[in-house]
């Protein structure tokens, strides 16, 4: 990987991004990047540039930004879990107030009724079904049943450089692992907890329904691996060192939630996922490799050259048609720009440490 071009550095200086900036003091580009952005780039470089560099978001028929049910519901559920795990062991905790009043407050604030025509929202039963889900969760994981000891909730990391992936060295052809930018992982740990044997992240994942082994989709997912990697770095700043020495820190607990009520068993599953030291190092190297490729494509972008497209994802971008399909199939740049202007809005660039529900 060669050093960044002057064109790329100038572009980043003039257009600082939440996930990439130029640090004048050290004279280097600095990534602060999360799994969502890494996955988006790995899926399709062209998609990534439209979304994470240019900020284009598809319009709904109302002219407002297109709402994403899965993303919105995930944010809503995380808001409720943050409240729950901060209060469920307090003397003043009231199940009805949490599951009905608080759920209603967040449902209305996020304008979730816009999703009432979505199949999963209908299957769940809209707000009443969501409130019922919260009652079920707070009952199954009531204070007397929840064996986890919560150490921290909603721990954000990123811009303060809490989780370094790669910190620059002078360029040297003999160095086997190299990146022309410093890299810091960005993200948010839902819950850090002690189960008596491990200190773990508890990661909430909402799903349409459970099919087969629901853990299999996360075994090779870099998101959970990144959380274990991050935990090992930031843990000394959260809990006493003597506790760390008594616990293993190589596991994440996937807190899986089915929006649909299963025919058998609970709609909530807790499944462990372990990663070895070698797997965590392999993860770090994958992130470095991805960032090197991203720098090369960014350099091509700022020079006015093309970036790669993965056309296998045009009709299957996470089980949906890619939102930029109509843009990419235009005959020329003028057509692309007209399609973007007519069918999209420019919104603030994705910032992991400041994720909020999208408003109409």
Identify the weakest region by mean pLDDT among 91-105, 159-173, 181-195, 314-328: 159-173
Among the residue ranges 140-149, 244-253, 315-324, the one predicted with the least confidence is 244-253
CB 185 within 8 A of CB 230: yes
Length of the chain, in residues? 360
Q: SS3 of 269, please? A: strand
Q: Which helix (H) or strand (E) holds 32?
A: strand 28-33
Q: Band of the pLDDT at 357, cuts 50, 70, 90?
A: very low
**How is the chain split into domains, by residue range?**
6-65+286-354
Question: Cβ(184)–Cβ(32) under 8 Å?
Answer: yes
User: Can you give the pTM of this predicted structure?
Assistant: 0.89
Please state, in angstroms and rounded to a whole number, the distance separating the CA atoms of residues 221 and 239.
27
Please give the backbone phi and psi of residue 155, each rounded to the nearest 5 degrees, phi first: -90, 110
Per-residue pLDDT, 350:
84
Confidence of residue 175 (pLDDT cuts 50, 70, 90): low
Residues 6 or more apart in contact with residue 178 via CB below 8 angstroms:
1, 169, 171, 172, 288, 292
H-helix or E-strand spanning residue 166:
strand 164-166
Residue 359 has pLDDT above 50, yes or no: no
**Confidence band of 239 (pLDDT split at 50, 70, 90):** confident
Contact (Cβ atoms closer than 8 angstroms) between residue 31 and residue 4:
no
For residues 23-41, give the mean pLDDT. 92
CA distances from 261 to 7, 78, 227, 247, 265 (A): 54, 19, 28, 35, 9
pLDDT at 177: 64
């Amino acid at each position: 990987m060669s050093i960044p071009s002057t064109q790329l550095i100038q572009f980043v200086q003039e257009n600082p991004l939440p996930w990439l900036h130029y640090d004048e003091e050290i004279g280097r580009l600095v990534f602060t990047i999360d799994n969502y952005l890494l996955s988006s780039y790995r899926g399709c470089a062209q998609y990534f540039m439209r979304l994470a560099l240019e900020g284009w978001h598809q319009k709904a028929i109302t002219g407002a930004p297109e709402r994403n049910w899965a993303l919105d519901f995930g944010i809503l559920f995380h808001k409720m879990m943050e409240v729950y795990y901060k209060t469920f062991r307090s003397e003043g905790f009231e199940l009805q107030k949490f599951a009905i009043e608080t759920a209603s407050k967040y449902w209305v604030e996020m304008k979730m009724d816009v999703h009432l025509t979505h199949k999963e929202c209908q299957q769940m039963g809209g707000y009443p079904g969501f409130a019922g889900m919260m009652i079920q969760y707070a009952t199954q994981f009531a204070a007397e049943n929840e064996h986890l000891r919560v150490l921290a909730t909603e721990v954000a990391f990123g811009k303060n450089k809490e989780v370094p992936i790669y910190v620059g060295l002078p360029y040297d052809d003999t160095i086997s692992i190299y990146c022309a930018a410093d890299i810091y992982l960005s993200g948010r740990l839902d819950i850090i907890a002690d189960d008596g044997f491990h200190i773990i992240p508890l990661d909430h994942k909402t799903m349409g329904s459970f099919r087969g082994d629901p853990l299999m989709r996360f075994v090779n997912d870099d998101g959970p691996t990144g959380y274990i990697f991050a935990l090992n770095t930031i843990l000394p700043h959260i809990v006493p060192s003597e506790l760390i020495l008594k616990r293993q820190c190589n596991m994440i607990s996937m807190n899986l939630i089915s929006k649909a009520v299963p025919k058998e068993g609970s709609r909530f599953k807790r499944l462990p996922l372990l990663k070895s030291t070698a797997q965590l190092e392999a993860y770090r190297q994958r992130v470095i490799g991805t960032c090197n490729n991203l720098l090369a494509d960014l350099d091509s972008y700022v020079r006015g050259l093309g970036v790669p497209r993965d056309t296998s994802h045009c009709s299957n971008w996470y089980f949906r048609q890619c939102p930029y399909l109509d843009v990419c199939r235009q005959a020329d740049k003028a057509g692309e720009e007209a399609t973007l202007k007519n069918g999209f809005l420019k919104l603030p660039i994705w910032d992991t440490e400041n994720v909020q529900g999208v408003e109409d």
